[in-house]
Amino acid sequence: MLEDDSIRRSYNSPLRLQQREITREKIMHAVAEIISEGYILTFSIKDVADRAGVSYGTVYRHFPTRESLLEGLYEFATEILEQDLSLKSFAINELSEVTKKTIEVFERNSTVLQAFTMVLATNNIQPQSRRKRDRKYLDIVKKNAPSLPTETATQAAAIISHLHSSLTWVTLRQRFDLSAKETANTLEWVLRVIIQDVMRQNKVFEDQ
C-alpha cells in the first residue's frame, strides 16, 4: 500500500504535472498551426504528433480523437483569454474599455485564436467553457441592470459576448482589413452605445 501511494504521488508530482502541461501546450500549438494552414478537415493525430515533435501515443493519451483535439483547442484558447481577461470583477460600464486589452490578447495569440475561430465556424462544438463564459456576460448584465426583463438581458448579453469574441475580431481584421487599433476603437464604440442603451432601458423599467 505504501509503495502504491508513493507511485501515485510521483505520478502526480508538480514536475510531472508541469511536463504534462508543457506537452499539452506543444500539441495545442501544433493543432493551431495545422488548422491555420487550411487542413482543418484533413489533419490526423499523426500529423499533430509530427508537428509537435512528440510520439503518436503521447498525443493519443491526451486527445484520442480529432474531435477531442478540436475541443481541446477551444479550451486552450479560453484559458489564454481568462489568464488576462477574468470577467469576475467587470462592471458593465467597464466592458467597452476592456476591449482594447481583449484585442491585445487576440493579437498576441493570433495563431491559436484564429484556428479555434475556424473550428467554431466549421464544427458543431459547444464546449462547456464557452457556455460558462456566455453566462458570465449574462450575470454582468443582470447585476448591473436588474430591472431589465430576462429576454432583454439575454439579448444584450448575447451581443456583448459576440462583440468580445475572436470571431468578431477575425471578421473586422481580415474581412474589412481594419488594423488592431481600428478594431479596438470600433468595438469600444459599439459596446459603449449598447451599454448606454441597456442602462437607459433598465432605468425605464425601474421607474415603472
What tens digit of pLDDT does each residue of 145-161 get? 999 999 999 999 999 99
List, for residues 14-48, the tens digit of each pLDDT value: 888 889 999 999 999 999 999 999 998 899 999 99
Domain boundary, last residue among 37, 64, 91: 64
- Which candidate, 104, 100, 92, 81, places its Cα nearest to that of 192? 92
- Asked if 95 and 163 sit in the same domain, the reply is yes
The verdict on pTM exceeding 0.85 is no
Shared domain for 125 and 26, answered yes or no, is: no
Cell numbers 488548422: residue = 35
Check which CATH number belongs to the domain holding 85 and give it: 1.10.357
Residue pair 43/34 in contact (Cβ under 8 Å)? The answer is yes
* Claim to verify: residue 106 and residue 40 sit in the same structural domain: no
Residue 172: which pLDDT band, with cuts at 50, 70 and 90? very high
Domain extent at residue 40: 1-64
The CATH number given to whatever domain includes residue 36 is 1.10.10.60
114 and 206 belong to one structural domain: yes
pLDDT in tens, 173-183: 999 999 999 99
**Are residues 194 and 93 located together in one domain of the fold?**
yes
Residues 125 and 205 in one domain: yes
Domain boundary residue among 33, 64, 95?
64
Residue 38: inside a domain: yes
Q: How far is CA 169 from CA 120, 175, 177, 184, 192, in A?
A: 14, 10, 11, 9, 17
Closest-CA residue to 145 (of 95, 92, 190): 92
* Domains in the chain, number: 2
Q: Does residue 13 share a domain with residue 39?
A: yes
Mean of the pLDDT values across residues 53-82?
A: 90
pLDDT digits (tens, 9 = 90+) for 82-136: 776 666 556 888 888 888 888 999 999 999 999 988 887 777 666 677 788 889 8
Q: How far apart are CA 48 and CA 65, in angstroms?
A: 11
| CA–CA dist 103, 175 (Å, integer) | 16
- Does residue 69 belong to any structural domain of this protein? no
From residue 62, alpha-carbon distances to 27, 49, 56, 58, 185 in Å are 9, 11, 10, 7, 39
pLDDT of 1 above 50: no
Residue that is last in its domain, among 45, 64, 83: 64
